[in-house]
Amino acid sequence: MTGAGGQLDGKVVLVTGGARGLGAAVARAVAAGGGRAVVTDVLVAEGTALVEELNGEYGDGAARFHRHDVTSEPGWEAAVAFAVREFGRLDGLVNNAGTSGGELLAEADVARFREIVEVNLVGVFIGVKTVVPALREAGGGSIVNISSAAGLTGMARTAGYGASKWGVRGLSKIGAVELAEAGIRVNSVHPGMTYTDMTAHVGIEVGAGKYPGTPLGRVGVPQEIASAVAFLLSDAAAYVTGAELAVDGGWTAGLVPQRPAGRQGPVGRGRSPRSDTGNPVSRR
């Protein structure tokens, strides 16, 4: 089981895009850690099913679902009000909802670029701005913004996606600096290739040795991202703010040296076996 092992006792955490994938794993980690998860998403059936599962496993009151589109400012006001109404307080926010695209920069559609930035960056901005009063009221809190490995390095085929994730990284630093006086910590998490609905279609497989372009040799699974998020939400991270935590199997640390086929001698700098670097691309 993932989670912070009671480290999140009593903490109320709003998780956007929490109906599936990394967000669902984070909601599970919150409940497993003794906290209460406010799961929000545009996917109502999946979100409701997850919340029922968590309440069944951890007791009624472990989780609630609220339909919420992160691009809507009134939607954010309603989501925060819902969390406070249901649980009496709010201690954390995980800005996880996201969408991706896999076009080359020179070919990327302008409307789609705007759409991606609207969800991945503007949505995060509105979220941070909107939760501040509730977190202040709680005496402080923790905001975790899900960026990406594509927000740490320039990856091909991530025009809108990479730009938005670099923006999330920058916004997190600004939040850390401005909100520390309110006891609010803001950090960014940068997952590498992780097996979810967003990435499954690019042909990745879970398991040792299945992703050799990454130093650890495999893709991540959602629970591995969720445990890093749970740490940042917890009091164990009380002195951590403005940090960028790569949870990527070493993907952004550097390239794995590979010997050219049939050659002896010193190794060269290798590259991912995927010519497109295996970015999280989506058909959504």
Ligand X SMILES: NC(=O)c1ccc[n+]([C@@H]2O[C@H](COP(=O)([O-])OP(=O)(O)OC[C@H]3O[C@@H](n4cnc5c(N)ncnc54)[C@H](O)[C@@H]3O)[C@@H](O)[C@H]2O)c1
Site residues, ligand X (CB under 6 A): 16-17, 19-23, 41-43, 68-71, 96-100, 119, 146, 148, 191, 193-194, 196-199, 280
Q: How far is the CB of 17 from ligand X (least distance, A)?
A: 3
Q: Which is nearer to ligand X, 14 or 138 (CB)?
A: 14
What is the identity of the amino acid at 16? T
- Joined tokens for residue 2: 């993932």
Angle 94-22-25 from CA coordinates, rounded to 5°: 90
Q: Which is nearer to ligand X, 35 or 162 (CB)?
A: 162
The number of CA neighbours under 13 Å toward the Cβ of 244 is 23
Q: How far is the CB of 168 from ligand X (least distance, A)?
A: 8
38, 36, 34, 37: which is closest to 5 by C-alpha? 34
Pairing of strands 268-269, 257-258: antiparallel
Q: How far is the CB of 56 from ligand X (least distance, A)?
A: 21
The one catalytic residue among 161, 195, 211, 239? 161
End-to-end CA distance of the chain: 30
Q: How far is the CB of 139 from ligand X (least distance, A)?
A: 28
Characterise 207 by phi-psi region: left (phi > 0), alpha (psi -120 to 50), beta (else). Answer: left
Q: How far is the CB of 6 from ligand X (least distance, A)?
A: 25
Q: Which is nearer to ligand X, 8 or 198 (CB)?
A: 198
239 is catalytic: no
Find out whether 232 and 187 touch, Cβ atoms under 8 Å.
Answer: yes
Q: Which is nearer to ligand X, 138 or 228 (CB)?
A: 228
- Joined tokens for residue 253: 């640390």
Q: Which is nearer to ligand X, 138 or 190 (CB)?
A: 190
What single-letter DSSP state applies at residue 108? -
Enzyme catalytic residues: 161
